[in-house]
Amino acid sequence: MDARTWRIGELAKETGLTVRALRHYEHEGLLIPSHRTDAGHRVYSIGDVARLYEVLVLRRIGLGLAAIRDQLESPRDLREVVAEHLAQTREAIAAQQRLADRLQRVHATLESGQFSSEALLRVMEDMTMLERNLVLTTERPDLLSRGKVRDMYALPGNRMLMVATDRISAFDVVMPSGVARKGEVLTRISSYWFDRTSAIVPNHMIEVLDASNAAGYGVDDETLFGRSMVVQRAEPLPVECIVRGYLAGAAWADYRAGRLVSGVVLPDGLQQSERLPEPIFTPSTKAGSGHDEPISYDEVVKLVGEERASVIKQRALDLYRYAADVALERGIIIADTKFEFGVLDGEVILIDECLTPDSSRFWPLDQYQVGGDQPSFDKQPLREWLEASGWNKQPPGPTLPDDIAAATSSRYLEAFRRITGVPLPD
């Protein structure tokens, strides 16, 4: 290929962006590749790369995607826009400093006992002017919901910020202390899989929030970087889509008791943790609180309709087969996993998290033995400690000892390293 053109993977590597981000820019009309090969691969020219760097500069100074699109279509010189923004930023900083000075003087006046209503009025006028003319990014976006592990915030343009916290739950109870870096692992593993499975099933991911893009979303809270994902807002379907490749957990309990596994008949003579002849779809309800309940495929049809039921079942199975093969090459067995789907613009897409230690049962291949429980890359150290602690499994949960929290964190970090092939970046 000509040295002055780039394939999408090469351009992602060159710029430090993800392939998903480049595709999103194309979807938003910000970066259209000059041409495609006969096989459909995107090819970018020098002009395309120059335009991409304009986009990145405008994102860096805090413009949203709509404003960037307007700028790219306008005759205004990029240097003029940047200079204007920097001037506004300097004025904003100066205005904030003036307000801080005024408040300090008011505080001193209060202490001296000589405060007047006129002084308060001037301060209130200053504050109103600041709110009217400045975009304040020190606040988080509006909170939509708070789950056991994730917080969801509203973003403009039918988007959400999905924050994976370090909170950890066991036996449906959130522990009073968290596990270091757990949220980063969940977000970056999800991003890893979303990026690699988007050709199999479309998903809601736009990009992981970090210092390079946060301003464009009006976020200035560095504690959210790396653990948060900007996603498209979809309508969730009321089904947990569980795929099992091995006989473990609740499926093993049902099988041993002679029951069907979510309506699926399994062969006789299987052992605990044994690989199934074929992966099976074992859906469950989405419980607002308490436990999810297993349901049959026919019940899924009643909940979402025959067409959507067929789509989510096939897509869940396809995702599992692909990921299980990839993970096996890296020494991890994905015994089972949970997917969630939603509807965006009439299309069923993958949402929430994807193939993480929280949504999946990861087993080390080199320790796998049929016939019993397996060690796993998740919160196993925490569960084992809780079982031995005498806790009654009712809230509140006990405070975790430092060594248990560290051991649990280590499991999550090792899962990330094995799956992605690199340690979680500091």
Domain that holds residue 51: 6-73
* 111 and 148 co-located in one domain: no
Q: What is the pLDDT of residue 130?
A: 46
Mention every residue, 6+ apart, whose C-beta is less than 8 A from residue 292. Answer: 240, 284, 285, 286
Indicate whether 45 belongs to any domain.
yes
Sign of CA dihedral 392, 398, 402, 407: positive
Amino acid at 47: G
Dihedral, CA of residue 383, residue 387, residue 393 and residue 396, to nearest 10: -70
pLDDT tens for each residue of the chain, 426 residues long: 445 788 888 888 777 777 777 887 887 788 888 888 887 888 888 888 888 888 887 776 666 667 787 788 887 777 777 776 666 566 556 655 665 666 566 556 656 666 555 655 555 555 444 444 443 333 467 888 888 889 999 998 889 999 999 999 998 888 988 899 999 999 999 999 999 999 889 999 999 999 889 988 888 888 899 999 999 999 999 999 999 999 999 999 999 999 999 989 999 999 999 999 999 999 999 865 556 789 999 999 999 999 999 999 999 999 999 999 999 999 999 999 999 999 998 999 999 999 999 999 999 999 999 999 999 998 989 999 999 999 999 988 898 999 999 999 999 999 999 999 999 987
Indicate whether 1 belongs to any domain.
no
Where among 110, 133, 156 does a domain terminate?
133
* 246 and 360 co-located in one domain: yes
* 128 and 158 co-located in one domain: no
* 339 and 202 co-located in one domain: yes
Q: What is the pTM of this model?
A: 0.68
* 269 and 411 co-located in one domain: yes
* 65 and 106 co-located in one domain: no
Q: What is the pLDDT of residue 248?
A: 96
> How far does Cα 321 stand from its chain's mean position?
22
Q: What is the pLDDT of residue 385?
A: 95
Residue 211, token pair as written in the block: 């210092």
Where among 54, 73, 92 does a domain terminate?
73
* 258 and 314 co-located in one domain: yes
Q: What is the pLDDT of residue 138?
A: 38
**How many domains does one find in the chain?**
3
Residue 87, token pair as written in the block: 């001037």
* 241 and 108 co-located in one domain: no
* Distance of alpha carbon 95 from alpha carbon 97, whole angstroms: 5
